[in-house]
Amino acid sequence: MSLISKTYQERHLQSGGGLFGKVRVPGDKSISHRALLFGAIAEGTTTIEGLLPAEDPISTASCLRKMGVSISQIKRNQNIEIEGVGLDGFKEPKEILDCGNSGTTMRLILGLLAGRSGRHFVLTGDESLRRRPMQRVGQPLKLMGAKVNGRSNGNFAPLAVCGQKLRGAVIGTPVASAQIKSAILLAALTAEGSTTVIEPAHSRDHSERMLKAFGANLEVGGEMGRHINVQPGYKLQGQKVIVPGDISSAAFWIIGASIVPGSDLTIENVGLNPTRTGILEVLQQMEASFEIINTREVAGEPVGNIHITHEPSLKPFTLDEEIMPRLIDEVPILTVAACLIDGVSSITGASELRVKETDRLAVMTRQLKAMGAHIEEHSDGLTIYGGKPLQGALLDSETDHRVAMSLAIASLVAKSNSKMIRSDAAAVSYPDFWEDLENLRN
């Protein structure tokens, strides 16, 4: 479903009330996309347990179905089965592939389709996705011989991919982006000769872990795993994938429990992949009161439970370019935390936030200022002068799922009630967010 149809109906948000009890957040969005995509190009059946049943992975599944991949219906609490078509099995789709609101869908699928020689594909998305830069993927793929066209010299969807026989290459990516890296790795699986991706900083590594588990010949080397090499010619084999809870969804409860007085919460089954746990480093900086319990490894990904209680004297924090790839999606909710913490918090090296589902630096500043926050916006970050009470306000997600959920947490600590329009954006990554919020509130 396209976000253009998101409703403007106002949702009432009552202030106050701590967060209590236990919650299991839905499956990791990044891992869910990859399980669907890799299952589609594997041989045989892939079974996915814990797939995120939200709009973004549903967009990935619907694109794959249009290319002849059989995927069982995506329903809550039900395993998903995919019949893989093999590395070169995609049918030329008769329809446009609609990636909805999902940048991961569009970018990873671009990598998969670039090498399907003799076939033509057209990809588009909702209004937000059609504004997001795609040349960052098209450009490196062109170095491998790909033909990708689109508006503004191939930068904006709708995009047309004319499948080509690709050649391997050594490619340095300009930004640490798991989406760019993964697109190149997927194209490399069927290219002629080996491909190496060199990232400026280590982005999330779910693709590397899962491609290896599916049987790809992939090696990770270099300082901090920034060099990834793929040798083509290895078929992928269908697997059982178990998707852990998404730490980026858990982040709303983690920060909520830290800042809302009286909270005491356990978040179960949270993925703790070290390329994603920047928020835990920030909790330490903030001197938050939390512990990680029952850590274990599930299907190649570290997992644990997080127990967190309200901490009345949190410390301001500093985020810079170094930590950014490990908490890129958590910046909106961390901005809410900074508003509540006495002192000045600073976020730099975050210009990537401007090309997410919305310009998250601008949108969070605008919405939190409506609540009375004192925030200065810079080209690559924010300075937040915290400790001033937030007031209830008329809020707008501006169609961004993470903004909707961040503002919902901000509304709990506001001095008066708020309202939010386009709150249903949360369904992009967390379909039961509003129900869980109701259940966890005191």
**Helix axes 178-188 and 206-213, enclosed angle (nearest 10):** 30
- Which two three-digit tokens encode residue 113? 């389709």
Contact between residue 349 and residue 319 where contact means Cβ atoms under 8 Å apart: yes
Residue ranges binding ligand S3P (CB under 6 A): 30, 33, 104, 177-179, 182, 203-204, 328-329, 352
Cα torsion 363, 368, 369, 370 to 10°: value is 100
- Closest approach, Cβ 50 to ligand S3P, in A, equals 16
State which residue, 104 or 239, has the beta carbon closest to ligand S3P: 104
Contacts of 217-220 with CB under 8 Å at 24 or more apart are 218/185
Q: Choose between 350 and 393: whose C-beta lies nearer to ligand S3P.
A: 350
> Min. distance of Cβ 342 from ligand S3P in angstroms?
30
Identity of the residue, 31 or 85, whose beta carbon is nearer to ligand S3P in the bound complex: 31
Cβ closer to ligand S3P: 349 or 387? 349
Query: Per-residue DSSP letters for 66-110?
Result: HTT-EE----TT--EEEE---TT-PPPPSS-EE-TT-HHHHHHHH
Measured from each CB, the residue nearest to ligand S3P is 30
Question: Is the distance from CB of 133 to CB of 356 less than 8 angstroms?
Answer: no
- Least distance to ligand S3P from the beta carbon of 282, Å? 16
For residue 328, the minimal CB distance to ligand S3P (Å) is 5
- Distance separating alpha carbons of residues 328 and 325, to the nearest angstrom: 5
- Min CB(30)–ligand S3P separation in Å: 3
Least distance to ligand S3P, CB of residue 374, Å: 27
DSSP structure string for 342-369: SEEEEE-S-GGGGGSSS-HHHHHHHHHH
Residues in the chain: 442
Nearer of residues 102 and 196 to ligand S3P, judged by Cβ: 102
CB closer to ligand S3P, 179 vs 411: 179
* Distance of closest approach, residue 56 Cβ to ligand S3P, in angstroms: 9
Q: How far apart are CA 289 and CA 295, in angstroms?
A: 18
Q: At what angle do helices 29-41 and 206-213 cross, to 10 degrees?
A: 30
HSE (CB half, 13 Å, CA atoms) of 43?
6
Catalytic residue among 329, 400, 432, 436: 329
Residue 51 or 178: the one with the smaller Cβ distance to ligand S3P is: 178
Tokens coding 204 = 């999330």
Residue pair 148/160 in contact (Cβ under 8 Å)? The answer is: yes
Give the residue with the Cβ less far from ligand S3P, 105 or 195. 105
In the complex, the smallest distance separating the C-beta of residue 96 from ligand S3P, rounded to whole angstroms, is 22
Angle value at C-alpha 301, between 222 and 177, nearest 5 degrees: 50
Q: Is 56 a catalytic residue?
A: no
What is the strand order of the sheet 217-221 is part of?
Answer: 170-172, 195-198, 227-231, 217-221
Report the SS3 class of residue 238. Answer: coil
Which token pair is 155? 């930068």
254: its two tokens: 């983690």
The residues that are catalytic are 329
